[in-house]
Each structure stands twice: as C-alpha cells, then as structure tokens.
Chain A
Amino acid sequence: MRAVVATLLLAILALAGCQREERDTRPQSARGSGEQPTPVTTLEPGGQRPPGSDNKAASFEANAFHMSEGKRLFGWFNCSGCHANGGGGMGPALMDEKWIYGSSMESIHSTIRDGRPNGMPRFGDKIPDDQIWELAAFVRSLGGNAPSSAAPQRNDDMMAHPSENRMPDAATLGKSP
C-alpha cells in the first residue's frame, strides 16, 4: 500500500520534475547550438526554420529556470520598450494568439536572433545564444504556450497582467497556430 503510493508519487514527480527543474547555466554548445548561417532574407515561409536545434529548444521550452531567466532578461533588455509587458505597443503584442511567424521555439529564437521586417532588430551579436533561447521560452509562456507548472510566476513589482503561470493554456484555447 505505502510502497505503491510512494512509487506512484515518484513516477508523477519524475515525469514533471526532472526537465522542469534542471538548472545549467553553462552554454550547451554540445547539443545543436542553433549556429545556423544568417539567412539572406529575413522573410521566411511560416517562420519555420529547418530543425536541427529542436533538442536544444526542447531543453529550454519547458524549463522553469530558463523561463524565469528569460523573464528577467526581457525586462533587462527593455523588450517592454516596444512590446510593453507583452501587451504590445510599437511592436506586436506577445500575449494574444496571433503569431506572425509561428509560436515554435525555433521561430521565436530566430526572430530575436535575426530580427524581422518592420522594426524587430536583430540581436544575434548582442545576446548570447542561450539567453536568446531563454527569451524565446519566456515569450512563449507569455502566450500561455508553456506548462503552467514551469511558467514564471508574478514579479515583486506593480502587476501589469496575471503572471505567466496563470495564463489560460493556449492549447485548450486553440491559441497556437
């Protein structure tokens, strides 16, 4: 009885736990480090890049630590200057269900790294690759595309919008394209 409960508990936590709680701060160049040649044109059909860095994307997209780091950098790098806490301003809103270039980690990553037409600058040189992945993971969580058990919680400052871990799950609302 007790053993059953214990093992059950273990199983549940193991599934949810390990990936969510990992905290490696060194760049993982070993896994495909997203080092792709800068494209000639920044226009991309559907915004889908050829895979190759997906295992890296996977290691970031559901990881609580990386997402909260992304949230910190989102503030530090003043992304809100254009995207106003994800609500949108000069730049598009990140909290709604409209993803011009798709909601996949890869496309958000390349959006930040290479920039996009109509004003999104390219940060490829200015932000280390891992931090771009962290930002991408956080941006996805803004739209409710991250597991709520890993998505960032509220900050200790004025509340702009409900914290990311309380976003309605995009999948259930058919947000993601």
Chain B
Amino acid sequence: MNQRPAVDLSGLPTFGHGPRSPTWWGTLGFMALEGMGFALAAGAYLYLTTLWPTWRLSAPVPDHWPGTIVTLLLIVSLVPNHFLARSAKQCRMVPVRAGMVVMSLLGLAPLAVRWFEFPALNIYWDTNAYGSMLWVLLGLHTTHLITDVGDTIVLTVLMFTRHGCSGRRFGDVGDNAFYWDFVVLTWIPIYLLIYWVPRLG
C-alpha cells in the first residue's frame, strides 16, 4: 500500500548501553529464568528441611571457611566490576582492557577456592537427601561461575583484538559485568543455605 514518510531515523546512534540495548534486556531475561531456577532449588531445599525434625539428618556440619573465602572474593570483585562497567559505558579502551583482565583473574580465584568447597561439605551427594541438596546447590552455582568466567575470558581476548574497538563490544562488556553482579548476588543466599542453615538444626 502507499506510503508517506513521517519520521526520519538517520540521526539515531548505532548502539546504546544498559536498558537502551536489547542485549541488556536479553541478559535480564536469562537472569530472571536462572534466578527462578535458583529460587526453586532453594525452595526444594527448604521444603525438605521442614519435613524432618532435625535437618542435616545427623550429618557433620560443613566446614564454612572455603565458602566464606569465596564469598569474600566475590564481594570484593564487585568493586572493579563496577569500574569496568563504567569505563565500558564511556567506551574507554585502556581501562576496559585492564578491567577485563582483572575480572578474569577475580573470576578464576573463587573458582579455584570453590574446588575445596566440595570436600568441605563433609558429606557426599549419595549419603542422604541433605548431602544431595548441598551438592546440587553448590553445583548449580558452580556451573554459573564457570560459564561466566569462560565468557569473561573470551571477551577479554576479544577486546585485545582489532574487533575490540566497536560500540557493540563495549556494550557486551557492560552486559558481562551486569551478569557478574547476578552471579555474585545469587551466591549470597546459597552460601547461607549451604553453610549456615545446617547449623540451626
């Protein structure tokens, strides 16, 4: 059918940061559904705790130190992550490259400590339901940790190539930082469920 020009878009920019960019919304969407997964797993855990007079079912208490160290590392990592997000928004290449390297390392560090968390649970997944849930929760978060660290490393390499200096990339860096906040945030309740709820019963 006939058309009449009504709006001119030629002046619009070719990329945007944060809520202006679809990728940010996509990341949010995946956070929503993964967060739902975390919530349901935690819900299942709490459901089982209510069924038994003494949760932990006569298993030894988990050793919380490795977990606590991971928690601290993650919280610390939020600071450089924030700066990284800001310099990405301003499309500054040097601080972004530096920040990405730092974040890759700060991602690997908790992952290394995470290795010692599993034995520190003091129970195996096949001993009883309590052990199963601990391993499930820890495993669930570990997969997120691994995927995001992998993503960060790939992106870091990318930022050092010629593909780096484009608005899209800076947008990706911003979204990656955004997702890292999510990974840290989801860990806090899981940390409490794994290491401190068993100490109540």
Direct contact of A and B (CB under 8 A): yes
Q: Report chain A residues within 8 Å CB of B128.
A: 159
Question: Is A154 part of the contact surface with B, judged by Cβ < 8 Å?
Answer: yes
Question: Is B8 part of the contact surface with A, judged by Cβ < 8 Å?
Answer: no
A154 vs B126: C-alpha distance in the bound complex, in angstroms? 10
User: How many of chain A's residues have a CB under 8 angstroms from any CB in B?
Assistant: 4
Question: Is B50 part of the contact surface with A, judged by Cβ < 8 Å?
Answer: no
Interface string of B106-135 (1 = CB under 8 A from A): 000000000000000000001110000000
Q: Main SS of chain B's interface residues?
A: loop
User: Which A-chain residue is minimally distant from B124 (CB atoms)?
Assistant: A162
Q: Report chain A residues within 8 Å CB of B127.
A: 159
A162 vs B127: C-alpha distance in the bound complex, in angstroms? 9
User: Which A-chain residue is minimally distant from B127 (CB atoms)?
Assistant: A159
Q: Report chain A residues within 8 Å CB of B126.
A: 154, 159, 162, 166
A153 vs B127: C-alpha distance in the bound complex, in angstroms? 15
Q: Report chain B residues within 8 Å CB of A166.
A: 126
Task: Give B128 Cβ to nearest chain A Cβ, in Å.
Answer: 8
Q: Which residues of B68-84 are within 8 A (CB) of A? A: none
A154 vs B128: C-alpha distance in the bound complex, in angstroms? 12
User: Which B-chain residue is minimally distant from A166 (CB atoms)?
Assistant: B126
Q: Report chain B residues within 8 Å CB of A159.
A: 126-128
Interface string of A128-163 (1 = CB under 8 A from B): 000000000000000000000000001000010010
Task: Give A84 Cβ to nearest chain B Cβ, in Å.
Answer: 19
A21 vs B63: C-alpha distance in the bound complex, in angstroms? 44
A166 vs B126: C-alpha distance in the bound complex, in angstroms? 11
A166 vs B128: C-alpha distance in the bound complex, in angstroms? 16
A159 vs B126: C-alpha distance in the bound complex, in angstroms? 8
A166 vs B124: C-alpha distance in the bound complex, in angstroms? 14
Q: Report chain B residues within 8 Å CB of A154.
A: 126
Task: Give B135 Cβ to nearest chain A Cβ, in Å.
Answer: 15
Task: Give B100 Cβ to nearest chain A Cβ, in Å.
Answer: 35
Task: Give A99 Cβ to nearest chain B Cβ, in Å.
Answer: 26
Q: Which residues of A30-58 are within 8 A (CB) of B? A: none
A58 vs B126: C-alpha distance in the bound complex, in angstroms? 31
Report A's interface with B, CB cutoff 8 A: 154, 159, 162, 166
- 6 residue pairs from A and B, CB less than 8 Å apart: A154-B126, A159-B126, A159-B127, A159-B128, A162-B126, A166-B126
Report B's interface with A, CB cutoff 8 A: 126-128
A-B interface, 3 closest residue pairs, ranked by CB to CB distance from nearest: A162-B126, A159-B126, A159-B127
